[in-house]
Amino acid sequence: MSDPNRPADDREWRPELVETLQAQLRELSAEVDVLSQMVSDTMHPTAEDYAAEEARAAEKAPEFELRHPTLEDWVTEFFAPTFCRSISPSVRWCAQWWDHAEAISRLEALWRCWEVLRLQRWEGAAVWYRDFLDSQLAVLLAPTGPFAQCTPDRHTPVKALPTTRAPEGWWGYPDDPDGEPLAENSPYR
């Protein structure tokens, strides 16, 4: 049905107008394809994209050199001399700290944070003490901490907590079609 209010020449499709519109439509379609590819590339980067991004970041990153290249260096050169305490029933430490898995985990976390935060000129040390050292030191040196069984004269390695493997399918999730099938007694059923 034609619109009686439009001029007569607008109601007729001229071939040159159709060709112009088709050309514009092809250009827009090509632009949409390019934009779709850009969105797809952004949303789904490839391994090459990650590698290129890492290379760009490495070029921009300032040189970072560890003050203490290993955890052992940090503990023996900085931590133990700086945070020394009198060993007592309420303060525990073990000279063989490296034979206590929990202590290694906590000390390594402290060391890594210390290496980064020491570079923050004004507040780095305060943040490290407040957010990291204070809570970890209390656990490390506690009478129930990782060195609970050790004395200055005796090292007693702690045995790992007993564990058993979960049944096949225990960790599957009901809404994960690619996951393992759920075990009958799984809490996720």
Cβ contacts of 149 within 8 Å, gap of 6 or more? 156, 158
Specify the DSSP class assigned to residue 99.
Answer: G
Residue type, 81: P
Integer Cα distance of 54 and 65 in angstroms = 18
Q: Kindly state the tokens that stand for 2.
A: 């034609």
| pTM of the predicted structure, to 2 decimals | 0.59
Integer Cα distance of 94 and 161 in angstroms = 20
Beta bridge partners of 88: 91
Domain ranges of the chain: 14-57, 71-140
Length of the chain: 189
Measure the CA angle with vertex 57, ends 50 and 131; round to 5°: 105
Nearest residue to 94 (alpha-carbon basis) of 108, 69, 75, 73: 75
Integer Cα distance of 53 and 33 in angstroms = 24
pLDDT tens digits in sequence order for the chain, 189 residues long: 556 565 555 556 677 888 888 888 899 888 888 888 887 777 777 778 778 888 877 777 667 789 999 999 999 999 999 999 999 999 999 999 999 999 999 999 999 999 999 998 889 999 999 999 999 999 999 999 999 999 999 999 988 899 999 887 777 666 666 666 666 776 665
